[in-house]
Amino acid sequence: MVSFHTFLECNIPIFSNPLRYLEAVKLAVQHYQFESIHPFYDGNGRTGRIINVLYLCLHGLLDSPVHFSIWPISS
């Protein structure tokens, strides 16, 4: 476990700052809590990911949202 923690600190900037690390833990907890209520038949995956991106942006952990989709966004 020590080596995994060292990997996170060295390779993922959010884990090198204790305050940002706390925000990452809060994000994980809120994501788990949201997914556990499971109000949709096909799951909460997409909605949960949108909430995660918004949380990261609001707390300054993500500069701009990134959209990954197999369908292109038309202009």
- For the chain, domain boundaries: 4-59
- Span 3-43, pLDDT tens digits: 776 766 676 666 667 777 788 888 888 888 888 886 666 66
- Per the CB < 8 A criterion, the answer to whether 56 and 27 are in contact is yes
Cβ atoms 15, 9 nearer than 8 A? yes
Alpha-carbon distances, residue 18 vs 24, 34, 42, 47, 66 (angstroms): 10, 24, 36, 28, 25
Over residues 30-40, the pLDDT tens digits come to 888 888 886 66
The pTM for the full model equals 0.60
